[in-house]
Amino acid sequence: MNKTQFEADFEGNKEIWLAAERLVSPRAIEREEALDFLVEKGALAKSALIAYLLATRLSDPDLEVRCHMVKALGDVLSSAEQGEQLPDKVLRQLQGFLAHLNKEQVLDLLEVSGQYLSAEESLIEIFKLCSYAGHVLSGIVNDRKIHLGIRQKAIYFCGEAGFLETNTTLQVLITKIEKRNQVLRKFPLKRNARVENQLYPYLIGALEKLGKSLPARRETV
């Protein structure tokens, strides 16, 4: 059976398309079952349309469904890196989708990392395909309204995914933290201002990952 015939048979499989329809079911259990079925059938790596529909589950309202999708996509991208062929049309569809992730969608992914440590390697693979995610992550790193743990994750992925454009953001925040601590030594009553110290080791680690030289004298915080 040649590739064209294989694709035709795959696209004509009613079970595949019934499962695709269930991806938008209001019931999380049905979406999860549909996702697992499509992943088991290898649909993610065979059909650009199915790949797109599955990718929308990266922002599924159910955290467990979202995690399953993160791991499934991470596995496909990791296999492609190791030499397994991923059709160009599927790769282009995924790149196009991931290139337009907004702040809320990136926060959805960071939430997965916060709850499922086992998803981190998959998220690194996904972020590597997100051409503009570095700018979004920079905004999250600087947003003090966002939970500190999520900001720590954002910093971590800036380094792990190699977003060089985040270098300035990370260095500026390090400088702010160090200067703030100098002030706090004179005015120690401002205890709440020290909360961002918990970002400091993540900032240093991310910059080291990015291969950027750090100032010769680093201040302990």
Over range 77-97, report the average pLDDT.
Answer: 86
Q: Which of 10-24, 72-86, 182-196 has the lowest mean pLDDT?
A: 182-196
pLDDT value at 168 more than 70: yes
pLDDT in tens, 40-67: 988 888 889 999 999 999 999 999 999 9
Stronger pLDDT, 102 or 211, i.e. the higher one:
102
What is the predicted pLDDT for the residue at 215? Answer: 45
Instruction: Using pLDDT thresholds of 50, 70 and 90, give the confidence band for residue 212.
Output: low
What is the predicted pLDDT for the residue at 147? Answer: 95
Q: Which of 9-13, 159-163, 198-202 has the lowest mean pLDDT?
A: 9-13
Q: Tell me the CB-side half-sphere exposure of residue 83, using CA atoms within 13 A.
A: 0
Residue type, 6: F
What is the predicted pLDDT for the residue at 135? Answer: 95
Name the phi and psi angles at 88, rounded to 5: -55, -40
pLDDT value at 125 more than 80: yes
Instruction: Using pLDDT thresholds of 50, 70 and 90, give the confidence band for residue 6.
Output: very low
Percentage, residues of the chain above pLDDT 90? 69
pLDDT in tens, 96-111: 999 999 999 999 999 9
Using DSSP, how many helices (H) and how many strands (E) does the chain show? Answer: 12, 0
pLDDT value at 9 more than 80: no
Contact between 15 and 34 (Cβ < 8 Å): no
Residue type, 32: E
Q: Which of 36-50, 142-156, 180-194 has the lowest mean pLDDT?
A: 180-194
What pTM, to 2 d.p., does this model score?
Answer: 0.86
pLDDT value at 187 more than 90: no
pLDDT value at 3 more than 60: no
Contact between 169 and 138 (Cβ < 8 Å): yes
What is the predicted pLDDT for the residue at 189? Answer: 56
